[in-house]
A and B are shown apart, each in its own frame.
Chain A
Amino acid sequence: MIRVLSVFYRIALLTFPREFRHRFGTRMIETFEQYYQDVGAVRSIIAVLEVLWQGMGERLARVVSLLQVPRRNNGLRNPWRGSLGLQIGLTFRDVRFALRGLRRSPLFATMAILILTIGIGATTSIFSVVNALVFRGVPFPEAGRLVRISETYKPDAGAIERRAVSYPDFVDWKHGVTAFSDMGIADFDYVAVTAGGQEPVLVATTFLSPSFFRLLGVRPAIGRLLDDGDDSPGGLVAVVSYDLWRSRWGMDSTLVGQSITVNDRMVTVVGVAEEGFDGTYGGQSLWMPFLAEGEFISNRPFDRVQLRGLRGFVSIARLAPGVSLQESQRQLDVVTSRLQEDGILDVDRGAVVVSFVDDNLGAARQTAFVLAVAASLVLLIACANVANLLIARQLGRSKELALRRAIGAGPGSLVRQLLVEATLLGGIAGVSGAVMAVWLTKVIGATIAPSVPSYVVPTVDVAALLFAIAVSLTTGFVFGLLPAVSTARVSIGDSLRVSSSSVSGSRRGFSTRRALVVAQIAVTIPLLVGSGLMIRSVSNTLSIDTGFDAAGVGVVSVNLPASRYDDVSRIEFSRQLREALLNEPLIRNATVASDIPLNSGYSAMIIELSGPGYVGRDVRVYVHRVSPGYFATLGIQLLQGRVFDSSDRSVGSDVVIVSEKMARRFWPDESPLGRVIGDATIIGVVANATYRGLVPDQEVNPDDPDIFVPLSQSSRADLQVAVRGQGTAADLPMLIQRTIGQIDPMLPVFGASTLAEIVEAHVAPSRAATRQLGAFAAIALLLSAGGLFGIMAFTVSTQTKEIGVRMALGADSTRVLGALLGKAAGLIVGGVVVGLIMALGITRFLESQLYSVSTTDFATYGSAAVVFLCVGLVACVIPSLRATRVDPLVSLRSD
């Protein structure tokens, strides 16, 4: 044991300055060993730590002592010592001097400030975003106790899927679970609001149980919020958001008690929610009782609350004091298994509790985390780069510093002046970095906006800014000081005698610089690999065969209010609309459907398949209610049989079209045409297409089959209209809106966009993340290439004489170039190898963001290495070429 500790002690002693170790080292080790004999191992370990600590203290003390005005001046006491006036005077002089120094080398100053600005700006903005997402999170009191309850479905094969909640299940949980102090259920929808004879406006509305307001701790601005008595089918009352109150009613306080028209029904406004509250997930403007929803959007109001299979709602609860998430899950499981025993719930169903905050911000947090790592790496590289610049500059100035010492400047004043210079650089960069941070925070905020609730608004975090500036200043201090201290130590005569071109005594500075360059390369590689992986993932996502043709298709959603439309008139409206659209010369094809691919609105149901081999087999299928023209408009291929036509309207001859996936799964060896699903006969098979999400996730199982039934057999209130036009799709949504307006001007129309935009929205978040990661990687690449360039230029300039001699002795320029590049190659290869190893470790964090590309994808790693080798080579060749153009005569004469 004593031997081991003794070795540690010797290592720890290395923190002391060399001269101190020479003087006391042996005796300190002896003392330590005797101490060990007396007190044993445990307390000796403290002595090892103590020596480590003291060693650093000693080094710090030496630097500090250099900064102090000498205690005694030629034996006379300095009468001004400690005088504030003198100190300030000195500092002003230093600032002036430092400014002059920086002006003299504008390239250095610009580079240093630019690099630090990028480092400070990038880091600050990213940490501001992380702060908004992780630490500020959601604006509700005790948000950590909020949970979201989802239903689960376990398919025959594959992972458990999360589903929305049905009202009967919600009621059963409410009665059977004591772990929640409060529970709420909500549905999100759009309604048309008319007030005071104005045009109807489409308003994002939540139909919710009144407990929601209690759960989220919301208070009314005026009037009251919903209370439990309101929650009934006839509860025609509403709460308006503060923003809507301001924009629509000019904050008129008589609004409370007034009636407004919502989807053709009179509703009384009972209050306005407090300022800033815009719903659980943001963006909501109107709240009405959950049980009243049927009045507005459905013509079968009771289905919504009675069907256990209608899983379309969001449920949120607050954990009771002292109850854990696990306990609430356990209680939910008890309710689930009781329902299953009673035969009310299928065995493949269940419920799961997740933290509301995680559920809400989880994905964005992951993106933010990856970007934060990338930003930290960029800051690291920026600091290494500035350190490199500073060292190079101090080495170049060693003669100047020595000269100034020779004519009477004390070491303290030299060091102080260098410190002032570093502070000045850091200060200027701090200001410009702050400006950049403000701008960049806005950019990043905008890119994550689609995937986070609207109340997450990143603003520049002062603490993050100060931290980034502190890191940059520290770098400036440390690397500005090291050479200064060594200059202060070297004898003046030596420094002055040495010529600038041979720079002896600077080996240490030079090897530090080489190490910094290797470190920069090593840190750059993971960034290159990371963004390479993201790029591949996004391009994989983009190259997914969607099975439909998005180009040239315009889409609009419309809601047929239950008060004016029944089943028959809905079918009639759809038929009329389609005919009107087809009459437009710009439109080639049109369809009205329950859902358009990737535009939500889809629903699943369990069907029973009959026939030999699969009698009584329950299968979950997604049902799309579509008018004629659906497949032609969307460019989905018909494989067998026929598509719907207008004759399929007649009730009693139910027909259905199935997807290829469905056909393959259930009728692998025969034609499905003529088979029966439920009461409907299969008349066609269409090619597979992605309807629910480009990338499979917890809520999207790509293996679920799709079936299509005629819209005329079962219509709905929420409809989506798609048209294929000639030429660009941009004008099509307007055209659809106008056509709908001609049929019924009071209908709320929303979601106008093109199908291409809808597809793009699915890729946008990862595309944005990729772009930002790519930008960081590009900055990193540029900075480390710059570092490489710098060190090569420096090497060449210090070896001009040597190169001259070689060339005078007959070496040709190719060999000189080869020798120089050989040195650089060592640095590059070393950095790249270390970087690739680091990348293997770091890219694991990206895993959840990647689609169909492995984090150890060889091609990406290879490309990153090749990219860096090429850029690095260019960075080295430019200064090296200069060396080969050296005229031996000139270089030998130089100096």
Chain B
Amino acid sequence: MNPYDHVPLKPDAFHILLVLLDSPCHGYALMRQLAQVTEGRVVLLPGALYRRLQHLLDDGLIEEVAGNGESDSRRRVFAVTEFGRAVAEAEAERLDGLVEAARRRDLIKKKAEVEL
């Protein structure tokens, strides 16, 4: 399996991977985390969320594992697989290249400049 076959990732899929790389979690926690880390820019309601999770599961980017028992051990949580991490890295690399290219053309202002 070649991680580059899955690049580019859909933005919300990439966000899911990023959240799950922090810590595996179940559906609702994932939903909240997504909204939090993206400051409300990515809000996936259950229908869309589980459809996306389905694709990630089928493509082997994430897997279902037993919960760590903190709140409810019976609950299965989603975690990023090794392959998923490789895909996330490939996507990050791709995005980095894009950002670098944009920066070279002065498209990205430094934070300080923006705040001035």
Question: A: which residues have CB within 8 A of B?
Answer: 20, 23-24, 27-28, 30-32, 34-35, 38, 46-47, 50-55, 57-58
Interface residues of B in 33-47 (CB under 8 A from A): 45-47
Partner of B48, one of A27, A38, A54: A54
Contacts A27-B26, A27-B27, A35-B28; A51 near B54 (Cβ below 8 A) = no
B52 to A, closest residue via Cβ: A54
Contacts A20-B54, A23-B54, A24-B53; A51 near B28 (Cβ below 8 A) = no
Once the chains bind, are A54 and B27 in contact (CB under 8 Å)? no
Cβ of B51 within 8 Å of any chain A Cβ, yes or no, is: yes
Q: Nearest Cβ in chain B — how far from A76, in angstroms?
A: 13
Contacts A34-B28, A35-B28, A35-B31; A27 near B45 (Cβ below 8 A) = no
- Report chain A residues within 8 Å CB of B51: 54, 57-58
Cβ of B4 within 8 Å of any chain A Cβ, yes or no, is: no
A35 to B28, CA, bound (A): 7
Once the chains bind, are B54 and A50 in contact (CB under 8 Å)? no
B50 to A, closest residue via Cβ: A24
Enumerate 20 A-B pairs (CB-CB under 8 Å) in ascending A order: A23-B54, A24-B50, A24-B54, A27-B26, A27-B76, A28-B46, A28-B50, A31-B31, A32-B46, A34-B28, A38-B32, A50-B45, A50-B48, A51-B46, A52-B47, A53-B47, A54-B48, A54-B51, A55-B47, A58-B51
Partner of A50, one of B28, B32, B47: B47
- Report chain B residues within 8 Å CB of A27: 26-27, 50, 76
Once the chains bind, are A28 and B27 in contact (CB under 8 Å)? yes
Q: Nearest Cβ in chain B — how far from A298, in angstroms?
A: 79
- Report chain B residues within 8 Å CB of A30: 27-28
Once the chains bind, are A28 and B26 in contact (CB under 8 Å)? no
Q: Nearest Cβ in chain A — how far from B55, in angstroms?
A: 10
Once the chains bind, are B45 and A47 in contact (CB under 8 Å)? yes
Q: Nearest Cβ in chain A — how far from B46, in angstroms?
A: 5
B48 to A, closest residue via Cβ: A54
Interface residues of B in 1-39 (CB under 8 A from A): 26-28, 31-32
Once the chains bind, are A46 and B53 in contact (CB under 8 Å)? no
Once the chains bind, are A35 and B47 in contact (CB under 8 Å)? no
- Report chain B residues within 8 Å CB of A50: 45-48
Q: Nearest Cβ in chain B — how far from A892, in angstroms?
A: 48
Partner of B28, one of A23, A24, A31, A53: A31
Once the chains bind, are B47 and A28 in contact (CB under 8 Å)? yes
A51 to B46, CA, bound (A): 7
- Report chain A residues within 8 Å CB of B27: 27-28, 30-31
- Report chain B residues within 8 Å CB of A52: 47
Q: Nearest Cβ in chain B — how far from A257, in angstroms?
A: 76
- Report chain A residues within 8 Å CB of B46: 28, 31-32, 35, 47, 50-51
A34 to B53, CA, bound (A): 18
A28 to B51, CA, bound (A): 11
Q: Nearest Cβ in chain B — how far from A440, in angstroms?
A: 46
Contacts A28-B27, A31-B31, A34-B28; A54 near B54 (Cβ below 8 A) = no
A347 to B110, CA, bound (A): 87
Q: Nearest Cβ in chain B — how far from A882, in angstroms?
A: 49
Q: Nearest Cβ in chain B — how far from A79, in angstroms?
A: 15
- Report chain A residues within 8 Å CB of B48: 50, 54
B76 to A, closest residue via Cβ: A27
A32 to B53, CA, bound (A): 16
Q: Nearest Cβ in chain B — how far from A2, in angstroms?
A: 15
Q: Nearest Cβ in chain A — how far from B16, in angstroms?
A: 14
A128 to B45, CA, bound (A): 44
- Report chain A residues within 8 Å CB of B45: 35, 46-47, 50-51, 54
Q: Nearest Cβ in chain A — how far from B26, in angstroms?
A: 7
Closest CB pairs A-B (n = 5): A54-B47, A51-B47, A50-B45, A31-B27, A34-B28
- Report chain B residues within 8 Å CB of A32: 46
- Report chain A residues within 8 Å CB of B32: 38
- Report chain A residues within 8 Å CB of B49: 31
Interface residues of B in 62-115 (CB under 8 A from A): 76
A57 to B54, CA, bound (A): 14
Q: Nearest Cβ in chain A — how far from B7, in angstroms?
A: 15
A55 to B, closest residue via Cβ: B47
A47 to B50, CA, bound (A): 13
Which one of B28, B46, B49 has the highest number of Cβ atoms from chain A below 10 Å of its Cβ?
Answer: B46
A55 to B54, CA, bound (A): 13
14 additional A-B pairs beyond A23-B54, A50-B47, beta carbons within 8 Å, are A20-B54, A24-B53, A30-B27, A31-B28, A31-B31, A31-B46, A32-B46, A34-B28, A47-B47, A52-B47, A53-B47, A54-B48, A54-B51, A55-B47
- Report chain B residues within 8 Å CB of A54: 45, 47-48, 51
- Report chain B residues within 8 Å CB of A31: 27-28, 31, 46, 49-50
Q: Nearest Cβ in chain B — how far from A11, in angstroms?
A: 13
A27 to B, closest residue via Cβ: B27
A28 to B, closest residue via Cβ: B46
A15 to B, closest residue via Cβ: B47
A597 to B59, CA, bound (A): 86
- Report chain B residues within 8 Å CB of A47: 45-47
Which one of B47, B49, B53, B76 has the highest number of Cβ atoms from chain A below 10 Å of its Cβ?
Answer: B47
A349 to B77, CA, bound (A): 84
A58 to B49, CA, bound (A): 12
Q: Nearest Cβ in chain A — how far from B56, in angstroms?
A: 12
Q: Nearest Cβ in chain B — how far from A575, in angstroms?
A: 92
A139 to B45, CA, bound (A): 52
A50 to B43, CA, bound (A): 12
Q: Nearest Cβ in chain B — how far from A586, in angstroms?
A: 86
- Report chain B residues within 8 Å CB of A28: 27, 46-47, 50
A20 to B47, CA, bound (A): 11
Q: Nearest Cβ in chain A — how far from B30, in angstroms?
A: 9
Q: Nearest Cβ in chain A — how far from B100, in angstroms?
A: 29
A34 to B46, CA, bound (A): 11
Q: Nearest Cβ in chain A — how far from B8, in angstroms?
A: 16
Q: Nearest Cβ in chain A — how far from B74, in angstroms?
A: 12
Q: Nearest Cβ in chain B — how far from A132, in angstroms?
A: 45
- Report chain B residues within 8 Å CB of A35: 28, 31, 45-46
Q: Nearest Cβ in chain A — how far from B17, in angstroms?
A: 18
Q: Nearest Cβ in chain A — how far from B76, in angstroms?
A: 8
A31 to B46, CA, bound (A): 7
- Report chain A residues within 8 Å CB of B28: 30-31, 34-35
A50 to B, closest residue via Cβ: B45
Q: Nearest Cβ in chain A — how far from B23, in angstroms?
A: 18
- Report chain A residues within 8 Å CB of B31: 31, 35
- Report chain A residues within 8 Å CB of B26: 27
- Report chain A residues within 8 Å CB of B50: 20, 24, 27-28, 31
A23 to B27, CA, bound (A): 13
B27 to A, closest residue via Cβ: A31
- Report chain B residues within 8 Å CB of A34: 28
A722 to B32, CA, bound (A): 91
A20 to B, closest residue via Cβ: B54
A842 to B54, CA, bound (A): 47
A362 to B11, CA, bound (A): 57
A54 to B49, CA, bound (A): 10
A50 to B28, CA, bound (A): 16
- Report chain B residues within 8 Å CB of A55: 47
Q: Nearest Cβ in chain B — how far from A196, in angstroms?
A: 82
A50 to B44, CA, bound (A): 10
- Report chain B residues within 8 Å CB of A23: 54
B32 to A, closest residue via Cβ: A38
A53 to B51, CA, bound (A): 12
- Report chain A residues within 8 Å CB of B54: 20, 23-24
A46 to B44, CA, bound (A): 12
A30 to B51, CA, bound (A): 16
B49 to A, closest residue via Cβ: A31
Which one of B27, B45, B49 has the highest number of Cβ atoms from chain A below 10 Å of its Cβ?
Answer: B45
A46 to B46, CA, bound (A): 11
A57 to B76, CA, bound (A): 26
Q: Nearest Cβ in chain B — how far from A783, in angstroms?
A: 39
A96 to B6, CA, bound (A): 37
A569 to B53, CA, bound (A): 101
